[in-house]
Amino acid sequence: MTDNEKDVAREFPSAEDLRTEIKRENYKQKYKKILRSTVYALVVVAAVAVLIATLVLPVVQITGTSMDPTLTEGDIVVLVKSSQLKRGDLCAFSYSNRTLIKRVIGLPGDYIEIDAEGNVFVNGEQLDEPYVINKSLGECDIEFPYQVPESAYFMLGDHRDTSIDSRSTVIGCITDEQLIGKIVFRVWPFKDISFID
């Protein structure tokens, strides 16, 4: 092969080099297509998860000690949007751009009384409250008997000494518009994963 032929051979790739290059380009195109479709799928899944978490099953992390010992600081719980609340349900509601967790004690129209020892009476009957360790009147500035307004709920924290709740006119009764949802499941910590009654 002359020098001139060698120069021409260097300028034009062989058929094998062309096949290898075409294969490599096809692989790059296929890889980009798979990567693009994977990213689209992840974005769609993330958007659906955010919609479900916001509209159907909100997730909340517990802060503070007002629900001790039932829920402790750092617990993560799942809520379900529900307007069918009953006495004893744990609920999350909005108050001053914060999310608070309390227990439903009084339903619309109920009469609430709390004595000096912290015993709670609803419509004249004392509540059995095994979830409360230390009963206390706590921070209370309402007059008893107190009637729960229509479309509102009387809520108390389980740790009655420290909880600021419906006993205080600062928070008062919780309206339907403030409700975020009813707590149904604890997902964190793993050792305490459970449904919430």
**Is the predicted pLDDT of residue 155 greater than 90, yes or no?**
yes
Q: Note the pTM of the prediction, 2 decimals.
A: 0.68
What is the structure's pLDDT at 136? 84
Cα atoms in the 13 Å half-sphere on the side-chain side of 100: 21
Instruction: Please give the Cα distance from 185 to 197 (Å, whole number).
Output: 9
pLDDT digits (tens, 9 = 90+) for 37-71: 888 788 877 776 666 655 557 777 778 878 888 88
Record the tokens describing residue 24, joined without a space: 């490599």
Record the tokens describing residue 74, joined without a space: 């750092």
Residue 54 is classified by DSSP as I
pLDDT digits (tens, 9 = 90+) for 67-104: 888 888 888 888 888 778 889 889 888 888 888 889 99
What is the structure's pLDDT at 184? 84
- Residue bearing the bigger pLDDT, 83 or 157: 157
Cα atoms in the 13 Å half-sphere on the side-chain side of 151: 4
Class of residue 38 by CB neighbours under 10 A (exposed 0-12, middle 13-18, buried 19+)? exposed
| Fold annotation for 59-195 | Umud Fragment, subunit A (2.10.109)
Q: How far is CA 87 from the centre of its chain?
A: 21
Instruction: Please give the Cα distance from 67 to 72 (Å, whole number).
Output: 7
Domain ranges of the chain: 3-56, 59-195
The CA radius of gyration of the chain, in Å to the nearest whole number, is 31
What is the structure's pLDDT at 123? 93
For range 161-172, the mean pLDDT: 87
pLDDT digits (tens, 9 = 90+) for 1-34: 565 555 555 666 777 877 888 888 888 888 888 8
